[in-house]
Structure 1
Amino acid sequence: MKKQDFLFIILVVVVFLPFFLSDAVYDWYKSFNAEHGMVMSFLKFAILSSLGEVLGLRISAGVYNRKGFGIIPRMVVWGILGMGINAAMIIFSKGVPQFMEYMGMANAAATFTSEAMSLDKVLVALAISVTMNTIFAPVFMTFHKITDTHILMCGGSIKSLITPIPMTKIITGLNWNVQWNFVFKKTIPFFWYPAHTITFMLPPDMRVLFAALLGIVLGVLLAVAARK
């Protein structure tokens, strides 16, 4: 472990430790999260998912940052994507149980919102996860790859946030072999299906935070994909 690793760990501990040690800080977080859910979604993903990308860079390149990586624009993009993820989680967690009732599962919505743990609740959570990750995740992952590529093409500059994205150029240049055979075919069914099943079994106010924490794992997975 190098000096930069120790500094990174210390920074993470300093940032997050107050939430565990101080009831006042944690109570403020819960209150602000309840009143400003979309703002907190932006902040959670901007910080935690970007942290995942930094870890991914450490794995793939041996450093936490480098010229052209674009930490700031990546954080902004992740924040915006985080709000989209929050919206998707709300939409699918409301819609899928209703569809399950339409298809014949009695009280699917009530079972899902119940605090009591049951096999039916797990099945509803799994159905929500599978539906969301099958419909929403491929589009999200591809768009995230496009924005990442765009930021790199702009040299990591903040100007990348206002520079038009050359969609055709980037889309046709993506490594679709990795995108399909690893990102879609492996990470979605073997990681995101079960991970988001757990997410949807958590209380609603904890789901976005847990999803953002999973963004750290995503950064590591993307680093693995980049090596292929």
Structure 2
Amino acid sequence: MLEAYINMVTANPLGMAAIQFAILGTLGEVASFSAVNRRFALPCNQMQLALKAVAWAVLGIVVKYGFVGVTGFADALLDHGLLPSFLSSGLGRAFLLSFCMQAVFGPQIMYFHRLEDNLILRQWNFSGMETALKALVWFWLPAHTITFMLDKPLQIGLAAAFSVALGFILGFAKSRAQKAQMSQAAA
């Protein structure tokens, strides 16, 4: 089964990135919203959810391009002797690629994704972006370090799965924050 998956990802990297992000990214949004509400619930109407799946698919393609781009960027820095050689293999390389992804590409992805959401929901809301940007350091930097330790065909799938994990984490954090606010208001 893993071999079939690897063959599909290798044969159609952009299509598979789109499919994986569409499914897992949307699942992460539903999971986050459901966690906040402590019951299964959709974060928007069904048409908007379908459009969000398309937005996640586009984001998957953007992330795939980002992975390829930061790899080329990091390789160029190493080839020109601008970085120490311990960053050229193993954990050092995985960390370098993850760092480049977060520093060079991460904020743009965050804002692009919020812009997609705003267009779908017909609003102009960038609240919470500070938390999203902080997640580049505390979540995505270590998560993508793990991701870049894997073989290339497995990287996008894990990145999409990490979106689900982050959805749960942020959903539970938001739920706890709302409880704390309600407790303070009642006191």
Aligned-partner Cα distance in 1 for 2:44–2:133? 29
2:46 aligned with 1:65, yes or no?
A: no
Aligned-partner Cα distance in 1 for 2:45–2:140? 29
Aligned-partner Cα distance in 2 for 1:39–1:99? 30
2:111 is matched with which residue: 135, 142, 146? 142
Q: Identify the residue that residue 201 of structure 1 maps to in structure 2.
A: 149
Q: Is the 8 A contact 1:183 1:225 kept in 2?
A: no
Aligned-partner Cα distance in 2 for 1:49–1:77? 9
Aligned residue identity for 2:93: V
Which SS does the other structure have where 1:220 is aligned? helix
Q: Identify the residue that residue 179 of structure 1 maps to in structure 2.
A: 129
Q: Identify the residue that residue 54 of structure 1 maps to in structure 2.
A: 30
2:72 aligned with 1:94, yes or no?
A: yes
Q: Is the 8 A contact 2:30 2:43 kept in 1?
A: no
Q: Identify the residue that residue 80 of structure 1 maps to in structure 2.
A: 58
Which runs of 5 or more residues in structure 1 are unaligned?
1-22, 113-120, 154-168
Aligned-partner Cα distance in 2 for 1:135–1:221? 24
Q: Is the 8 A contact 1:54 1:65 kept in 2?
A: yes
Q: Is the 8 A contact 2:86 2:92 kept in 1?
A: no
Aligned-partner Cα distance in 1 for 2:17–2:164? 15
Spell out the pairing of 1:115-126 with structure 2 (5 A cutoff): 121-126=90-95
Which runs of 5 or more residues in structure 2 are unaligned?
178-187
Change (3 A) 1:89 1:98: same
Shift, 1:101, TM fit: 3.3
Identity across the alignment (%): 25
CA deviation digits over 1:120-141, x for unaligned, max 9?
A: x211211111111112111111
2:163 aligned with 1:215, yes or no?
A: yes
Q: Identify the residue that residue 182 of structure 2 maps to in structure 1.
A: none
Q: Is the 8 A contact 1:133 1:193 kept in 2?
A: yes
TM-score (norm 2): 0.81
Aligned residue identity for 1:28: A
Aligned-partner Cα distance in 2 for 1:37–1:106? 29
Aligned residue identity for 1:179: M
Shift, 1:211, TM fit: 0.6
Aligned-partner Cα distance in 2 for 1:28–1:183? 34
TM-score (norm 1): 0.68
Q: Identify the residue that residue 84 of structure 2 maps to in structure 1.
A: 105
CA deviation digits over 1:131-178, x for unaligned, max 9?
A: 11112111111121222232223xxxxxxxxxxxxxxx72xx422xx3
Aligned-partner Cα distance in 1 for 2:96–2:85? 15
Root mean square deviation, CA, Å:
2.3
Which SS does the other structure have where 1:136 is aligned? helix
Which SS does the other structure have where 1:91 is aligned? helix
Aligned-partner Cα distance in 1 for 2:73–2:118? 33
Aligned residues: 173
Aligned residue identity for 1:131: C
Q: Identify the residue that residue 17 of structure 2 maps to in structure 1.
A: 41
Q: Is the 8 A contact 1:97 1:124 kept in 2?
A: no
Change (3 A) 1:151 1:223: farther
Larger Rg over CA atoms: 1
CA deviation digits over 1:86-134, x for unaligned, max 9?
A: 11001112320330232153486xx43xxxxxxxx21121111111111
